[in-house]
Amino acid sequence: MTLADVAYMPEAPVHDLEIDEINAEAFGPGRFTRAAYKIREGGPHDRSLSFVAMHGGQVIASVRMTPVAAGEGRAQMLGPLAVRPDFKNMGIGRKLVAMALAAASRAGEPAVLLVGDEPYYGPLGFARIPRGQISMPRPVDLNRLLAHEIVPGSVELLSGEVGHAALAKVPQRAAEPA
Ligand SMILES: CC(C)(COP(=O)(O)OP(=O)(O)OC[C@H]1O[C@@H](n2cnc3c(N)ncnc32)[C@H](O)[C@@H]1OP(=O)(O)O)[C@@H](O)C(=O)NCCC(=O)NCCS
């Protein structure tokens, strides 16, 4: 198999079952207790910014994006990102992150944050969020709170506890004028 056999596309409802299996395989039952999972319980992810990698008609990797809010700040939260074991270390994870960031930028999203390993995400454009600036609804290692700024100054606006944007007092995107 070569990378030419891998196709990337926006996520669709038909992929849901396979994505659930990939995340179960990658993160195990502990995934339900994670801070990011708790936030994702607050509302839906944004399919228009979420992508899958396909091989032989099957989903082999997935990245999801969920709109979040923290204080005055708005962002997309990247995750889960998972690649089937047989397809790891081929650049598929990196490619999915790049696609999600590009889509977020095109959509006018101000920033993308995540809970993850800096050695992996740092080279992909993420930097640590200053300690104490934001918190998560469950305990996390603060060194793993990372952000990719799209609109200058947008990460600074994030403050306090991160929650799903649907639960924020001010909606994430201003309504289109009638
Ligand atoms: C992490 C994951 C998404 C990476 O996807 P992938 O397609 O295998 O990774 P890529 O091919 O894009 O990148 C591979 C490189 O990243 C490195 N890497 C993988 N996971 C890493 C991690 N957690 N920390 C640092 N580096 C990591 C690999 O060693 C490799 O380095 P190299 O290019 O110097 O050889 C994948 O391993 C996975 O699904 N893991 C289980 C779920 C998970 O941990 N998701 C991330 C949540 S934060």
| Digit-coded pLDDT (tens) for 35-65 | 999 999 999 999 999 999 999 999 999 999 9
From 60, 86, 88, 140, give the residue whose CB has the most ligand 1 atoms within 8 Å, as the site to mutate: 88
Specify the residue with its C-alpha closest to ligand 1, atom 4. Answer: 93
- pTM here is 0.94
| Digit-coded pLDDT (tens) for 114-123 | 999 999 999 9
The dihedral over CA atoms of 95, 138, 129, 74, expressed in degrees to the nearest 10, equals 80
Can you tell me the distance from the alpha carbon of 78 to that of 109, in angstroms, rounded to the nearest whole number? 12
Residues flanking ligand 1, CB < 6 Å? 26, 81-83, 88-94, 116-117, 119-120
The dihedral over CA atoms of 31, 32, 38, 42, expressed in degrees to the nearest 10, equals 120
Separation of CA 72 and ligand 1 centre (Å): 32
| Digit-coded pLDDT (tens) for 87-124 | 999 999 999 999 999 999 999 999 999 999 999 999 99
